[in-house]
Amino acid sequence: MERRLALPTDAVYSYLTMKLRDGEMQRLATSILARLEQAGLLKITANRATVAERIVAAFRANVRAEEEIEREAVKFAESHSRELVGMDRHKVLQLVKERLAKERGFTL
């Protein structure tokens, strides 16, 4: 009989990751642009809103990539549950997630 880890499929240990809402992403993008301009590191010649939206799109892509890594970590842990008996599930998931991220060149 195969045993499976009881893990949520929609939000894997969300306390370990930072989930940003769209409004927060927009405010961060605007703040990043303003600070880069104030520091003299950036001069915006295009539409400011377009540049901010590209930053938000990068945030969204990063969140999606991290969620994919989380899903794969859970899938791996579930498929190896017999070998992981007695191990701390949080630690196992974090280690698997870190390994997957490293293999993909993704910074957590």
pLDDT by residue for the chain (108 residues), tens only, comes to 444 444 444 434 444 455 778 899 999 999 999 999 999 999 999 899 999 999 999 999 998 999 999 999 888 888 877 777 777 778 888 888 999 999 999 887
pLDDT score, position 87: 77
pLDDT score, position 14: 40
Nearest to 17 by CA among 65, 87, 84, 54: 65
Dig out the tokens for 90 from the structure. Answer: 């949080």
pLDDT score, position 18: 59
Burial bucket for residue 67 (CB in 10 Å: 0-12, 13-18, 19+): middle
Q: Report how far residue 73's alpha carbon sits from residue 93's, in angstroms, rounded to the nearest whole number.
A: 6
Q: Tell me the CB-side half-sphere exposure of residue 16, using CA atoms within 13 A.
A: 15
> pTM here?
0.67
